Structure 1
Amino acid sequence: MPDCLVNGVRLHFEEHGQGQEGRAPILCIHGMSTSALVWGPSVAKVAALGRTIVYDRRGCTRSERPQPYATNITQQADDAAALLRALDAAPAVVIGRSYGGEVALALALRHPETVRALVLLEAGLVNLVPEAKAWAEGVMARTLAAAEGEPSDAAKALVHEILGEGAWEKLPPPLQSMFAANSAAVVAEMRGGFLEAEPEALSKLGIPLLLVASAESPPAFRHVVAAMGAAIPMARTALVPGGHMIDLAEPAVLEFVATVVREPNP
């Protein structure tokens, strides 16, 4: 699969499906500690709807990790915009999970011409809910503390916090290896801070948007999704079963994407 030089960093990306006249491309942005590999066979279901691009964000797995490594959501969003332009794939329907959802939202706010619609799978815009922000700050503190003892433990600590006790042991060994190898990226992304967007800015988003929360995730995510839904006039919300690793091919997601890839640009 090819690489693309974006903002001075080599990003690994894959393309699936076929572009069609009148259909927007689809871009998938993975969350913290993972890579495009985490989407698995669900990519094929999304790609049945049109040209689908998945990539490893800066610092993750098959993409370049500059040394010393520091990053933030603004930089990651600018990477996504540059990748879409380099691949002649803008405006796109952008799907982001967790931290990748924050990147996707920042992309829409900073580079609105690159985004036709958004799907945010438990994007953690925690500044909207004080209790959620306090919870997320605790997760960050404990994860960074784990990394001080053993750098590769950052991802393990994060999985424990977000997916629950015993979740790490249930992961297949290849996923454990991928997560552990991205521990340096976890530390850099956490130190880069959360996305902060005020309701006024969110209210100006004039694109179709689907907010997805999971019934079994930590409650903070559901509270944030509810607050985002109240702030964004065009937002739809969906509650799905399972935990934080919401499937890219959830029926609610596929139904929404099937509609918005065919809509004219707003």
Structure 2
Amino acid sequence: MARIRVNGVDLHVEERGAGAPILGIHGTPSSAALWADAAERLAGHGRCLTYDRRGFVRSTGAEADAATSLDDHVADAAALLEQVGAMPAAVVGRSTGGLIALELARRHPEAVSALVLLEPALFTIDAATRAWAADARDRIAAAAAVDPDRAAEAVFRVALGDDAWTGLPAGARDAFAAASGGVLAELAGDGLDLSAHPRRYVAGELDAVRSPTLVVVADASPEPLHRAAEWITDRLVDARRSDVAGGHLIDPADPVVLAFLDAHAAA
């Protein structure tokens, strides 16, 4: 474990294994702690790096009440890979982390050798997904206004349902709740799925993403997540989709992910 200074913030970074670099980017709310088991398995297939994104749990934000944007997260990921000598890396991003990974590959193609997008949180593809995401954001913002410390819980309940939240072990609920500060910063920022002004791609922008890409979707996830995944898959030069069982918290070390990473490394 290490603390790495990038772009004015200190990131908590964990490294496991050896070989071709693999970078894991968690969703919102989350942290590298919630990827620990998956990171151990990913480390059997390469040099696995995971980190708490700025403002989340063990990483700092620029300031206590900072607004965090997609630009910030992309710049942090690129700087992290450069500082630790892990370019290019196969980047695995879940949910919001998938959107960050996609934009990282678009802006910094030299930093990304392959992409794994686990239900990437891009909800600006059509009117229906935009309406669904706007409603989710309003519900989360309303809950956070009542109790800021429950912002992360509100995201979880909206994305996976009340029963999923209450069914979590107490330790897992505490781990998610610790990410509330990062949630609030993203609500105040731009470009992310929880932002008032989320990222919206125009025709041709994703042509710059040339990395081999696996887009993974869970069968029980809300329909907007399926549509977003299909939309992205159709617009990337070298992408395929794989469906798995379960809900939105797709295992970053699912067998389909490991097989893709191994095939990419062999190639």
TM-score, length-scaled by structure 1: 0.94
| Correspondences of 1:133-172 after superposition (within 5 Å) | 133-172=130-169
Aligned to 1:103: 100
Q: C-alpha offsets along residues 126-185 of structure 1, whole Å, 9 cap, x if unaligned?
A: 112321121011111110110000111211111111111211111121221122221121
User: How far is 1:199 from its partner?
Assistant: 4.1
| Residue of structure 2 aligned with 1:41, choices 20, 23, 37 | 37
| Correspondences of 1:1-266 after superposition (within 5 Å) | 1-19=1-19, 24-65=20-61, 66-192=63-189, 193=195, 194-263=198-267
Contact in 1 for aligned 2:115/2:211 (Cα 8 Å): yes
Contact in 2 for aligned 1:213/1:225 (Cα 8 Å): yes
Q: What residue identity is the alignment partner of 2:10?
A: R
**What is the number of equivalent residue pairs in this alignment?**
259
Q: What residue identity is the alignment partner of 1:34?
A: S
Q: C-alpha offsets along residues 224-250 of structure 1, whole Å, 9 cap, x if unaligned?
A: 111111111211101110000000111
Contact in 2 for aligned 1:126/1:132 (Cα 8 Å): yes
Q: What residue identity is the alignment partner of 1:254?
A: L
Q: What residue identity is the alignment partner of 1:30?
A: H
Distance in 1 separating the partners of 2:12 and 2:203: 34
Out of 74-83 and 35-44, give the one that drifted further: 35-44
Residue identity (%): 42
Structure 1 spans left out of the alignment, 5+ residues: none
Distance in 1 separating the partners of 2:100 and 2:57: 18
Distance in 2 separating the partners of 1:58 and 1:261: 29
Contact in 1 for aligned 2:11/2:51 (Cα 8 Å): yes
Q: Secondary structure at the match of 2:266?
A: coil
Contact in 2 for aligned 1:11/1:56 (Cα 8 Å): yes
Out of 10-19 and 188-197, give the one that drifted further: 188-197
- Superposition misfits of 4+ residues, deviation over 4 angstroms: none
Q: C-alpha offsets along residues 14-66 of structure 1, whole Å, 9 cap, x if unaligned?
A: 110112xxxx3000000001101111312121111111101010001111132
Q: What residue identity is the alignment partner of 2:4?
A: C
Q: What residue identity is the alignment partner of 1:215?
A: D
Over the residues paired in the alignment, what is the CA RMSD in angstroms?
1.2
Distance in 2 separating the partners of 1:245 and 1:58: 21
Distance in 1 separating the partners of 2:202 and 2:121: 13
Contact in 1 for aligned 2:65/2:185 (Cα 8 Å): no
Distance in 2 separating the partners of 1:109 and 1:233: 12
Q: C-alpha offsets along residues 184-205 of structure 1, whole Å, 9 cap, x if unaligned?
A: 2112113322232234111332
